[in-house]
Amino acid sequence: MKKVVLLGGGGVFAVHTAKYFLENVDLAKLICVGRNIPRSSAYTLDVGRNDSRYQYEQIHVVFERDRLFELLDRERPDVIINFAALAHSSSWSKSWRYYDTNVTTLAWMCEEFMKRDYLERFLHVGTSELYGHTDAPATEDAPLRPTSPYAVSKMAGDLHLESLWNVYRFPMNIIRPSNAFGPGQQLHRVLPRAVLCGLTGQKLPLEGGGRTRRSFIHATDLASALHLICERAPLGRIYNAGPRDPISVYDLVNIVANQLRMTMEELCEVVDARKGEDVQYWLDSTLISKDLGWEPRISLEDGAADMIAWGRKYVELIKDDSTAFILHA
């Protein structure tokens, strides 16, 4: 039985990964480490409640490094999955904070891990954004062309981990997923905000008319990819994980509108596009399929229905929450 730690454990993708692992993996313990106290059930989904294998620890990985390693050295996890990152494409304001978390803290953590003997695998969650705009599916060895401080910071973190593997055989893997979504996601993201707007009679600001194209996967599909990498992937290997084809944000939101029996005009208002936004992210996920047999299972239609069911269940808890992105330290 494995003992697993999820860093960035309060975020939506860690929540879904914790749920997936608790339901599908023979675990001794699963510990989520997050910077905030747990939020309402709308965001935690009550994952781990009444499960003796689950533990949540509020520790800020940037500012409470002593507490972090006191916990890790006490628990001695076999596997660490690192979700901890500042993640937002509009990262031009206070861009240095992205480097503090996504590069400097990552490098510090890994240097400390190399002094320990208990860690079997460090699985780092990267991003498709470091490939920049692509006209064809990007493979793992495609040129890296990040176009925002966030993407640059994630690229630097990946390259640091690659160098640790190449020189010291630090036991790492990297996954670069496409845009993931799922119940409990922060409300500044397009799908939860579209659902909230549809349920409460607000207008969704559709940036640039939704012309950008992205690849979207459900958080459960991301969790299944993480599980397969933890169980079977050769150390040192990097994997993309995304659907076969991208979709425009307009068409994605239109799926939500249709399921809510609304027109796009009723749901959305067009606003200016974000400055410098990449037109398309598109991944080639052949390697993870070939090596580990992973494929996304949840369609966008089923995923949208899942989001709407979540919104309806928790609308009273989330209706007054901010839909603006707030950059926390």
Q: What would the mean pLDDT of 150-173 be, rounded to a whole number?
A: 97
Range of the domain at 111: 2-180+216-241
Residues 196 and 271 in one domain: yes
Which of 169-173, 233-237, 246-250, 275-279 comes out lowest in average pLDDT? 275-279
CATH code of 231's domain? 3.40.50.720
Same domain, 171 and 189: no
Binned at pLDDT 50, 70 and 90, residue 146 comes out as very high
Both 167 and 264 in one domain: the answer is no
**Which pair of structure tokens corresponds to residue 51?**
């499960």
Q: Are residues 113 and 205 in the same domain?
A: no
Residues 220 and 159 in one domain: yes
Tell me: do 148 and 127 sit in the same domain: yes
Give per-residue pLDDT as tens, 175-205. Answer: 999 999 999 999 999 999 999 999 999 999 9
**pLDDT classification of 30: cutoffs 50, 70, 90:** very high
Q: 188: Cβ–Cβ under 8 A, 6 or more apart, which residues?
A: 322, 323, 324, 325
The answer as to whether 325 is a domain residue is no
Say how many domains are in the chain: 2
State the pLDDT confidence band at 1, using cuts at 50, 70 and 90.
confident
Would residue 194 count as lying in a domain?
yes
Q: Are residues 205 and 171 in the same domain?
A: no
Residue 325 has pLDDT above 70, yes or no: no
Condensed to tens digits (0 to 9), the pLDDT of residues 246-290 reads: 999 999 999 999 999 999 999 999 999 888 789 999 999 999 999
Q: Tally Cβ neighbours within 10 Å of residue 290.
A: 9
Dist CA 243 CA 214 (whole Å): 10
Considering the domain boundaries, does residue 7 fall inside one?
Answer: yes
**Does 108 lie in the same domain as 24?**
yes
For residue 328, tell me if it sits in a domain.
no
- Please state, as a whole number, how many other Cβ atoms lie within 10 Å of the Cβ of residue 50: 6
Q: What's the pLDDT at 134?
A: 95
198 in any annotated domain? yes
Are 22 and 127 members of one domain?
yes
pLDDT band at 107 (very low <50, low <70, confident <90, very high): very high
CATH number where 202 lies: 3.90.25.10
Averaged pLDDT score across all residues of the chain: 95
Q: Is 201 part of any domain? A: yes
Three-class HEC string of the chain: CEEEEEECCCCHHHHHHHHHHHHHCCEEEEEEEECCCCCCHHHHCCCCCCCCCEEEEECCCCCCHHHHHHHHHHHCCCEEEECCCCCCCCCCCCCHHHHHHHHHHHHHHHHHHCCCCCCCEEEEECCHHHHCCCCCCECCCCCCCCCCHHHHHHHHHHHHHHHHHHHHCCCEEEEEECEEECCCCCCCCHHHHHHHHHHHCCCEEEEHHHCCEECEEEHHHHHHHHHHHHHHCCCCCEEEECCCCCEEHHHHHHHHHHHCCCCHHHHEEEECCCCCCCCECCECCHHHHHHHCCCCCCCHHHHHHHHHHHHHHHHHHHCCCCCCCCCCC
pLDDT > 70? residue 329: no
Tell me the average pLDDT across 42-66.
Answer: 96
**250 in the same domain as 237:** no
Residue 89 — pLDDT band, cuts 50, 70, 90?
A: low
Q: Is residue 324 part of a domain?
A: no
- Does 222 fall in a domain? yes
Q: pLDDT tens across 202-215, in order?
A: 999 999 999 999 99
Let me know whether 23 and 35 are in one domain: yes
> Are 157 and 103 spatial neighbours (Cβ–Cβ below 8 Å)?
yes
164 and 50 inside one domain: yes
Q: Which residue shows structure tokens 């496409």?
A: 178
